[in-house]
Amino acid sequence: MSRKWTAADMPSLAGKLAVVTGANSGLGYDTALELARRGAEVVLACRSRDKTEAAMREMRAAAPGAKLEFMALDLADLASVRGFADAFKARRKRLDLLCNNAGVMALPLTRTRDGFEMQIGTNHLGHFALTGLLLDRLQSTPGARIVNVASMAHRWTRGLDLDDLNFERRRYNKWDAYGKSKLANLVFTFELDRRLKKAGGKVLAVAAHPGYSATNLGFAGPAMEKSVLGKLFIEVGNALLAQPAAMGALPTLYAATADDMQCGDYVGPDGWRQMRGHPKKVGCRSLARDPELGTRLWGLSQTLTGVRYL
């Protein structure tokens, strides 16, 4: 790119339909806002109706005429994921963009309704199931894309222990678990890309990461632990080191709309250590693109979620 890409460079999205998970705050909010600003109809897939409706009022004030809809989705509950998919498909015959953005970070050991460790369950398994359940709508829509939001944290763990993905036997470390969930996001993206190509599909599967962005994501863990120091650590980091959430959303928006995106691309900030800056295509650790690991994670994810596709 000869100059820095911004949301103003997005093409018109009139007539497009997008689903953004976790769209009521942080990166998801800015992602949904910019998609709507460019004319897309955006389904905000979130847990809380009240918080999401408040977010939609703010979006409409910033982008009059924005086409927005709340639909309930709790990624930590596979019944909710199936309910969302059923409700969506009952009313919609197409889907241009699925943005798997929602996530949790560095929580004390907690389990989803289905018994999964909360971070792998929400960040990976919930999105794996959602993607599979919506894939038919994506495949029937020309030019459709799936964007999985990963993280620099995929480098913070030694790897994925598929014999104990849910920390049922090993000692739990909340940051290691977060890193594993983000590594799983990338392994899933690239395995999905391989399977789509093999099936002859035209859906684009790509990934993006926001660098270090100031959002509320890091506050849930300290709140659950009642840790004043943990809360202070996040506050200081957000204030001194992080870029605004609107900047952090740019890699996702680029991955979702730029015309030079290709299957399996990964987008992040162009600044020092990819912590901040404007979007560009970036590399990741080689383990994320390991086809053997991808095959094994895919099979385990199908078994755990009961969702089989491709």
3-state secondary structure at position 180: helix
Catalogue the active-site residues: 178
Q: Which domain CATH number covers 22?
A: 3.40.50.720
Would you say residue 230 lies in a domain? yes
Judged against a pLDDT cut of 90, whether residue 15 lies above it is answered with: yes
What is the identity of the amino acid at 306? Answer: G
Say what the alpha-carbon torsion angle 209, 196, 177, 120 is, to the nearest 10 degrees. Answer: 110
In a domain, 83, yes or no: yes
What 8-state DSSP symbol labels residue 287? G
The predicted-structure confidence for 199-251, as pLDDT tens digits, reads as follows: 998 999 999 999 988 666 655 555 566 666 666 555 655 565 668 899 999 99
How do residues 129-165 score in pLDDT, each as one tens digit? 999 999 999 999 999 999 999 999 999 999 999 999 9
* 124: DSSP letter: I
What is the pLDDT, as a whole number, of residue 87?
98
Domain interval for residue 279: 11-305
* Residue 23 included in any domain: yes
In a domain, 5, yes or no: no
- Say if 143 falls within a structural domain: yes
The total number of structural domains that make up the chain: 1
Is residue 20 one of the residues assigned to a domain?
yes
Rounded to the nearest 5°, which phi and psi values hold at 44?
Answer: -90, 105
Task: Establish if 49 belongs to a structural domain.
Answer: yes
3 in a structural domain: no
